[in-house]
Structure 1
Amino acid sequence: FPGQKVKPGCMGQEAPGYRIRLLDADEKEIEEGEVCIAINPAPVGLMRGYQNDDGSFAPLGRTAYRTGDVATCDAEGYFTYVGRADDVFKASDYRISPFELENALIEHPAVAEAAVVPTPDPLRLAVPKAYVTLTANSVPDRATALSIFQHLGQTLAPFKRVRRIEFSDLPKTISGKTRRVELRQEEEKRAKEGRRSSNEFREEDFPELSTR
């Protein structure tokens, strides 16, 4: 908007006529929560639902319209995107945004695409795992995995680091979006069966890495 200061990496402030709140599942305000639009009163132009909705679209809570996006808000009222509510997960009791990890991954020259999901871990309950599609001239081998792990170790805080990498094509919807739910289900299935993909590399497989 005219006169609004631009902050790199931020979505900006709430638009005039809208009151934005960051809420948890019980509609309590929190520092990092789902982006919700207050509906008492509802702003002009807010979509309230679909005609002949089958019930799968249910954004209206008691006091707010839930967008499904997670964000933080600073002291000046600027919102920063974290990820989709159903994609953000906990690892070692920290909230992890796949969005941030995937951005770090695609900065590596060998990575064409990446999707990060939680995978069960006996020590941390869950750890971040990256499914990675490599660029045309890259080889899905140990050396490439090591290079990616080293890159992430220099880029991300220890609690955010990807602990496992699997080289694979990503499952997509008709519209081209990554089917994260399919990847999460595959990880849960493998954990129950106690098996591991031959294309998966784990941080602990590399003594040369300083794991924490």
Structure 2
Amino acid sequence: MRSLRNALLFTQQDMALLLGVSRSTITMHENGWRELSTAASLMETLIMECYAAATIEPPVHLNHLQEKNDLTLFKKKIRYEIAKCEQDVEVCEEKLIQMKDECLRLQVKQVTLTILKSRLDARRSKVKQGSNEQQRILKQIECVEYFQREAGLLQEKCGILARLELQYQLDRLKAQKRVAENALKYMEQKNY
């Protein structure tokens, strides 16, 4: 991988972004300490194929029809990867929108529960100590506090870290799409 990365003038961070792994994973892979995941290996293979197609002339022994068929299949593969990346980008963008909407709904729910709790606290202070009414209000306050905790836990799931992770995944998919598009554009410019 190091020779491919150097040939493309990519840093380890660039390659990590394209493959969807950490920079340290690239370092460990290049030093033979770790294998890449299946998805990262497939993307590495696609990058190598794109690089090879852009830099190496097809073998002379292929006839023109065979050469054209191989390149057509390769271009179809790249177009398929582009289409898949586009679909994955759409899914990620939709998830990000849903996550932001859910976070807003949970914030409204938290505010509503906080207001409800303060009103129950105010009513409890006006009710006679030890009465059935006070016991009922205390149970309602317990329920509100339970729902506040649940809403808080749900809010963490769609909080800033989760959204950043999803945004990173979205950026990685867009980068993969750009690489494939650039490879296809280069092939078409060179009339491959």
Structure number having the greater strand percentage = 1
Which protein has greater RCO, CA pairs closer than 8 Å, 6+ apart?
2
For the pair shown, the structure with the greater C-alpha radius of gyration is 2
Q: TM-score, normalised by structure 1?
A: 0.22
What TM-score, normalized to structure 2?
Answer: 0.23
The structure whose residues are more often helix, as a share, is: 2
